[in-house]
Amino acid sequence: MNSKVFDTSIRYLKGVGEAREKLFNKLGIRTLRDLVEYFPRAYEDRTVFKRINSLVIGEYVCVRAIAAATPKLSHIRKGLDLVKLRVVDDVGSLEITFFNSPFVKDAIKQGESYAFYGKVSGTLLRPEMTNPLFERVQKKGAITGCIVPIYPLTAKLSQKIVSTAVRSALEKCADEFPDVIPNDISKKYNLCRASYAYENIHSPEGFKELDIARRRLIFEELFVLVTAMRLMRDRRTTQTGKYLQARDFKEFYASLSFTPTNAQKRAIDDAAADMIAGKLMNRLIQGDVGSGKTLVAAACCWLTWRSGLQSAFMAPTEILAKQHYKSLTDMLTPFGMSVGLLTGSTTAKGKHEIYEQLRYGEIDLIIGTHALLSEGVEFRNLGLVITDEQHRFGVEQRSMLTEKGDSPHVLVMSATPIPRTLALIIYGDLDVSIIDEMPPGRREIETHVVDERYRERLYKFVRKLVSEGRQVYVICPMVEENDEDLEQESASDANKPKSVTTHHETLSKKVFPDLNVELLHGKMPAKKKDAAMAAFTSGDADILVATTVIEVGVDVPNAALIIVENADRFGLSQLHQLRGRIGRGEFQSFCVLIGEAHERLQIMKSTNDGFKIAEEDLKLRGPGDFFGSRQHGLPVMQIANLMTDMLVLHEAQGAAEKLLETDPSLSLPANRKLKEKIIQLFDTNIDKMN
């Protein structure tokens, strides 16, 4: 949709005005396009008419009936009026009551036919309806006998206001819906026209029409997305990157304290092959927690340095950045590489020094957080950019870092195993290497799902492990006792979310006063966080009570037990990440999930395969929750569901592939509208496309 009408502000719609415009803006609606693309979240089925003798108590239904008498208005007390009315059809009679709607008295006339829509109450012998919607039978269609859209709302905007605005937007745009799907594809996949689809998604004539409309819109959404991703990818494969000199990795491997797995070697070889060929690398390393992705990153930095170029490695949290700094320093400084660390808590003086060293090429590898995106960061010769846990960074942040160099190679590491089908879309613009093998000698983690009754036994077990020299994580879902979330809970005490600070108090003062119990959460000052993490890493602390700040990447091989409080409050993939914190050393490790939703948690017990868990999680929660909003940097799906619309997705992929074979840059007139749509959707990335 690129015509002018669609870009008109909603302010000019009848009945919208300035105040309402603001409310609509809150819903993300600014233009007519936004309005017509604001799809209902559900529909109310008012198509079913029943005769009075077959009504079912509790159901919502339409009834055609004649007013048996003039409605009777009575003032019960100040602020309470009742209108009572009996209506009949040829088989029964129905009592209707309207509260505080005195106008009904004159609106309904004895002996005339009306259609009512409402919830049936009363008894089967004496059915009733309260405050039903109604209209004259002759007028049928506006209120009864139709399917009514239900829109997601914000306070102060009623269904009526939204649907009226949508209706007038649809009318204004009526003849201008451009079909972004090329004709032959529409034909091949049996898709209705865009105008029909928009009309029927908002005001469906029937459920069949609604299905036809939905199918078209879902197809369109997915088709535009996969075409865009393919375009980016295809364009990239023709781009050249910096040539790196080939090197024998044996030299690098020789300095390690362990032997890389075959899967690690394969991933390293994939990456090296890209960079040595002078192809611009854009590669995703996907591997389950603990599969050893850091080593792949280190090898790539080493290769880059061998060709005299710098590398930058960005992590989503300070804790993780520091940890990478430590392990990469260990692996790389023996070769004479200089490694730097830059985070939000680096002192001004320290930053200044690092900026200088980067500019002069005195630092070969800089590791850091978002701080790497600061203006002061400039490189002498940036050859490689690595981002860890990438779905926490948007595509834009990734490119902000690459723009600091002259098309550096890009390596992305994801710890969230994404079901293959989804990875195809989300990382459609990247090549993928999968590390599907764990380092040897790992023991299977023993996982238990328990409730409060086991707490005492559990604490004994903690003591036993600590006395053997092991360490323990205790994870709580939130920080403060009076968190908003908490107040709304009416949960039983046992299931009440544990505040990390309070729980730390309990454990350190009452349960384990003789042990060293540390606290770690995101809202602590950086210095305290450092101290807590350092105490745990060095083995000084026996127990670390933390929030999910430790979720990504933290690596303390001596930790052999993780206890998750209120485990039912976490997503399965998140639990899997948390569990990934243990079983990293030679010790048998244990994961204890304390929670009520036993059934959902059982999957954690039955498998340790992150892919399987992710798939299960997606089924339960849907991709929206799974990825968080916009975290993956893709447009938010308006109507398609990446899990349930898999079939349409495959069709859309097939169609996109065929189309780009014949018109690789979408320059044919027939594909012009599609191209415009893609540019509109990915507007920040236009330059990345043809």
Binding site for ligand ADP (CB under 6 A): 258-261, 264, 287, 289-295, 415, 439, 553, 555, 557, 584
**What part of residues 518-577 is at the interface with Mg ion (CB under 5 A)?**
553
Backbone angles phi, psi at 111, to 5 degrees: 90, -5
Residue 401 touches which of Mg ion, ligand ADP, none (Cβ within 5-8 Å per kind): none
Residue 241 touches which of ligand ADP, Mg ion, none (Cβ within 5-8 Å per kind): none
**How buried is 89 (Cβ within 10 angstroms: 0-12 exposed, 13-18 middle, 19+ buried)?**
middle
Which residue's Cβ has the minimum distance to ligand ADP? 292
Shortest Å, Cβ 601 to Mg ion: 24
Shortest Å, Cβ 273 to ligand ADP: 20
3-state secondary structure of 90: coil
Shortest Å, Cβ 439 to ligand ADP: 3
> Could you tell me how many residues of this chain bind Mg ion (CB under 5 A)?
1
- Based on CB atoms, which residue is closest to ligand ADP, 557 or 628? 557
Nearest to 405, CA basis, from 388, 392, 386, 391: 386
Residue 584 touches which of Mg ion, ligand ADP, none (Cβ within 5-8 Å per kind): ligand ADP
- Based on CB atoms, which residue is closest to Mg ion, 419 or 553? 553
Shortest Å, Cβ 500 to ligand ADP: 23
d(CA 235, CA 250): 34
Is residue 477 close enough to count as binding Mg ion by CB under 5 A? no
Longest dimension (CA), the chain: 98
Residue 178 touches which of Mg ion, ligand ADP, none (Cβ within 5-8 Å per kind): none
Shortest Å, Cβ 364 to ligand ADP: 20
Residue 503 identity: H
- Based on CB atoms, which residue is closest to Mg ion, 241 or 292? 292
Shortest Å, Cβ 435 to ligand ADP: 7
DSSP states of 16-66 as a string?
THHHHHHHHHHTT--BHHHHHT---SEEEE---B--GGG--TT-EEEEEEE
**What part of residues 333-372 is at the interface with Mg ion (CB under 5 A)?**
none
CA geometry: angle 258, 264, 269, nearest 5 deg: 120
- Based on CB atoms, which residue is closest to Mg ion, 402 or 416? 416
* Neighbour count for residue 2 (Cβ, 10 Å): 16
- Based on CB atoms, which residue is closest to ligand ADP, 330 or 663? 330
18: number of CA atoms within 13 Å, CB side? Answer: 0
Instruction: List b or e across 92-113, with b for residues whose CB sees 16 or more CB atoms inside 10 angstroms.
Output: bebebbbeeeeebbeebeeeee
**478 - beta bridge partners?**
499
Give the start-end residues of each E strand in 132-189: 133-136, 147-150
Measured over the CA atoms of residue 255, residue 258, residue 262 and residue 263, the dihedral's sign is negative
Shortest Å, Cβ 59 to ligand ADP: 53
- Based on CB atoms, which residue is closest to ligand ADP, 29 or 298? 298
To the nearest 10°, report the CA torsion of 134, 140, 141, 144: 30
- Based on CB atoms, which residue is closest to Mg ion, 267 or 517? 267
Residue 53 touches which of Mg ion, ligand ADP, none (Cβ within 5-8 Å per kind): none
- Based on CB atoms, which residue is closest to ligand ADP, 452 or 586? 586
Shortest Å, Cβ 261 to ligand ADP: 5
Is residue 405 close enough to count as binding Mg ion by CB under 5 A? no
Shortest Å, Cβ 276 to ligand ADP: 23
* Neighbour count for residue 484 (Cβ, 10 Å): 8
- Based on CB atoms, which residue is closest to ligand ADP, 203 or 537? 537
Which residue's Cβ has the minimum distance to Mg ion? 553
- Based on CB atoms, which residue is closest to Mg ion, 151 or 302? 302
> Do the strands 282-287 and 409-414 form a parallel or antiparallel pair, or are they unpaired?
parallel
Nearest to 283, CA basis, from 269, 262, 302: 269
Q: If residue 476 lies in a helix (H) or strand (E), which one and from where to where?
A: none
- Based on CB atoms, which residue is closest to ligand ADP, 144 or 261? 261
CA distance to 83, 97, 141, 184, per residue, from 80 (Å) = 10, 12, 31, 62
CA-based R_g, the chain, Å: 31
Shortest Å, Cβ 12 to Mg ion: 52
Residue 92 touches which of Mg ion, ligand ADP, none (Cβ within 5-8 Å per kind): none
Cβ distance 98 to 129 under 8 Å? Answer: no
Shortest Å, Cβ 418 to Mg ion: 15
Residue 595 touches which of ligand ADP, Mg ion, none (Cβ within 5-8 Å per kind): none
3-state secondary structure of 373: helix
Site for Mg ion, rule CB under 5 A: 553
